[in-house]
Structure 1
Amino acid sequence: MSAVSRVQSPEPADFRKAMGSFAAGVTVVTGCHEGRLVGTTVSAFSSVSMDPPLVMVCLKRDSRTLAALSQTKAFCVNILAQEQGDLAYRFAKSGADDRFALTAVEASASGAPLLAGCVAAIECDLHAAHDGGDHEILVGRVLRVVTDETKTPLVYVRGAFLNA
């Protein structure tokens, strides 16, 4: 028996606490499916490759946004600004249908909405999808980026937004 097989998995609460100690930027991943705008808050986001330019996001398997993006094959990662905490909460709410009601959006070439006031927007085509346990790992090929360096990014750690 290997050393790895003898190690027990951590308690879920302990694992959540440990992962919550890692500060993460906050994004809203958006798309458009059959004329309906979809989006969800995501903190599991990272660059993957510079050549070709690739990023990855992780979405819950039961997410309506994931279901839509799997069909459209295009999405936008909107990196939220420090003053957009309310937007992060609105898009994190499960089943909320009014997510875009108070949000100015701009359509991208792929149709995925870019949210106004963000630090950056990264438009992607779906490059690959991978099993990630209770999440799906989407790898996006970056088509276009829009940045606003005058904005400070929103950061989440230990269950709260970090204020600079």
Structure 2
Amino acid sequence: MTAPTDLGTPASASSSGRTGARPLLPAGRVGPQHSPLAPPAASPAAGDLLRAVFRQHAAGVAIVTAPGERPAGFTATSLTSVAADPPLISFGVGTTSSSWPAVAEAEHIGVHILGEHQMELAATFARSGADRFAPPTRWHTGPEGVPVLEGVVAWLVARVVERVPAGDHRLVIAEVVAGDPAGGGSPLLYHRGRFTALRD
């Protein structure tokens, strides 16, 4: 496998363009009532639609790492800056991922922004069964015992504050405690099912 295993999800929007707003209905009509605790099941076609739409979305590529007896890590395209005060980030991880048990137990995680020269590193951390921390991967133990990858554009260490169930994934929210933004270089992108470089 040479592609990230997680995927972002689009925000819902009404016909008025307000994100998260309920759609407007003609006068006299009442929309379907759904319990917030039991949303209607999505059709397989909706999943296919989401994947097709997000193939058109160019996303930055990151690697998330977690400490443990054996360090864990995976390639992610769902990294998001959530808030500046407190400084929060989020990312999605599948519960069937080999890295999930480590992320589920970790108090701190590492987030690494990859450069365009690191396509092979991104592929290694996305590949099932790969020994992701073996050479030629270069890394060291960083703050809070988190594995920190070397040669990246930038990195963060963050304290996990919440793991929110989201379908077959968990949305992990974490507060930044350390990092370095000064690695330099152009970022790696993921678009149309492959890793690619930023074009000027």
Tell me the TM-score normalized by structure 2: 0.75
Q: Is the 8 A contact 2:140 2:149 kept in 1?
A: yes
Which ranges in structure 1 are unaligned for 5 or more consecutive residues?
A: none
User: Partner amino acid for 1:72?
Assistant: A
- Structure 2: runs of 5 or more not aligned: 1-29, 35-39
Which residue in 1 is equivalent to 2:16? none
Match of residue 130 from structure 1: 164
Q: Which moved more, 1:77-86 or 1:8-17?
A: 8-17
From 20, 26, 32, the equivalent of 2:61 is 26
Matches within 5 A, 1:47-66: 47-66=81-100
Q: Conserved in 1, the CA contact under 8 Å of 2:75 and 2:126?
A: yes
Q: CA RMSD in A?
A: 1.9
Residue of structure 1 in register with 2:132 after alignment: 99
Structure index of larger Rg: 2
Separation in 1, partners of 2:167, 2:33: 19
Are 1:121 and 2:121 counterparts?
no
Shift, 1:149, TM fit: 5.3
Q: Is the 8 A contact 1:80 1:120 kept in 2?
A: yes
The answer as to 2:105 corresponding to 1:71 is yes
Q: More deviation in 43-52 or 60-69? A: 60-69
Deviation at 1:13, TM superposition (A): 2.6
Q: Deviations over 1:86-112 (max 9, x none)?
A: 01110001232x111121112112111
Identity of aligned residues (%): 33
2:31 is equivalent to residue 2 of structure 1: yes
Higher deviation after alignment, 63-72 or 49-58: 63-72
Cα distance in structure 1, aligned partners of 2:149 and 2:166: 27
Matches of 1:152 and 1:22 in 2, distance apart? 18
Q: Distance in 2 between matches of 1:13 and 1:32?
A: 34
Moved over 6 A (4+): none
Q: Give secondary structure in 1 for the equivalent of 2:54.
A: helix
Deviation at 1:3, TM superposition (A): 5.8
> Which protein has the bigger strand share?
1
The structure with the greater share of residues assigned to helix is 1
Equivalent position of 2:117 in the other structure: 83
145-154 vs 44-53, which deviates more?
145-154
Aligned residues: 161
State the 1:66 CA deviation.
1.8
